[in-house]
Amino acid sequence: MKKILLVYNPVSGHAAFKNRLDAVIDSFQRRGVFLSVYRTCADDNSAFVEYVKAAGVEGVIAAGGDGTLHAVINWLKKNSIELPVGVIGSGTSNDFAAHLQLDDEKLFDAVANDRTRPIDLGLVNDAEYFINVASAGVFTSIAHEVDARLKNFLGKSAYYLRGLGELKNLKTLQLNIIADEQKFSVEVFLFLVLNSPSVAGFKKLSDAAQIDDGKLDFLALKKCSVSNLATLAKKILAGDSVEGNENIFSLQAKTFEISSSAKLTSDLDGEAGSLLPLRIKTLKHALNFFC
């Protein structure tokens, strides 16, 4: 019988996953998969690693939002534990799960049949991995600034309410970028380094971003007027790609060095990252993903 570790975040997405836990266990058991269950808590790294090694599992499923998936991948990769990973999107923000368009039953079948695909990861400053997006600038720190109680109560609306409060603070920053040894300088409000095209609930910010092409996609919102910003926002809300827009600076590369004179904290998959400058590498096919 296949043995899989289910890691769930008890507070993600209205703390609702615990009400689904029995049904998920039943679905896996009917497919001949035994679940060992791990409940996340603060400062989990060493406890998680010990648990994985003791459990002797053949894969890990993260049940939670992008932050939970981010944590699980970092716990595994930083401890050289090479196991396939899957996700049950049950958090406030589930961008990577949304990109895969993978419902629970398909995921359960993929795990039971050991069906995986190799995907890329980003590595920041040789220290922290991300699976979906690295970012910095206006709006990008909202995910880790929103109070957890407000986020659990209001869901994604909490991010948008917090974002409205940032409008009065719109300031540009001068970015210096080296992408695969090519140098660029641009004045922007924010930037995103994407693995998938799905970010902040919007499913197709980039036409080019693919999770297994060995490259990451850089998008930056350039300095522009409020009216141009409003027009671009309408395009994003309509679900359109922003590539090709005159207010967007975009490029694709395997490596990036991003610096600014401004003091900026990065955001990795919705979690607080390191201060700029950032050195970002694409790790091609670094993770096998159940899908």
Cα 10–chain centre separation: 19
Question: DSSP of 94-149, one letter per residue?
Answer: -HHHHHHT--HHHHHHHHHTT-EEEEEEEEETTTEEESSEEEEETTTTHHHHS-HH
DSSP class of residue 180 equals T
Backbone angles phi, psi at 52, to 5 degrees: -60, -45
Asked if 120 contacts 285 with a C-beta cutoff of 8 angstroms, the reply is yes
> What residues are annotated to the active site?
271
Least confident of 11-20, 205-214, 264-273, 276-285: 11-20
pLDDT at 233 over 60: yes
Q: What is the pTM of this model?
A: 0.88
Least confident of 73-77, 113-117, 134-138: 134-138
Asked if 73 contacts 64 with a C-beta cutoff of 8 angstroms, the reply is no
Q: Among 125, 6, 18, 134, which Cα is nearest to 70's?
A: 134
Q: Which residue has the higher pLDDT, 8 or 151?
A: 8
Asked if 120 contacts 286 with a C-beta cutoff of 8 angstroms, the reply is yes
Cα 187–chain centre separation: 25
Return left, alpha or beta for 201; rule: phi > 0 is left, psi -120 to 50 is alpha, else beta: left
Dig out the tokens for 234 from the structure.
């309408």
What is the set of domains in the chain, with CATH numbers? Answer: 2-114 (3.40.50.10330), 128-283 (2.60.200.40)
Least confident of 190-194, 244-248, 275-279: 244-248
Beta partners for residue 191, in sequence order: 136, 220
Q: Return d(Cα 264, Cα 138) in angstroms, integer.
A: 10
Secondary structure class of 232 (helix, strand, coil): helix
Q: Among 69, 67, 70, 63, which Cα is nearest to 90's?
A: 63
Cβ burial, residue 126 (10 Å; 0-12/13-18/19+) = exposed
Mean of pLDDT values over 89-95: 82
Residues 149-185 have pLDDT tens digits of 444 443 443 444 444 445 555 788 999 999 999 999 9
Cis peptide before 277 (omega within 30 of 0): yes
Dig out the tokens for 147 from the structure.
């109070």
Cβ burial, residue 82 (10 Å; 0-12/13-18/19+) = exposed
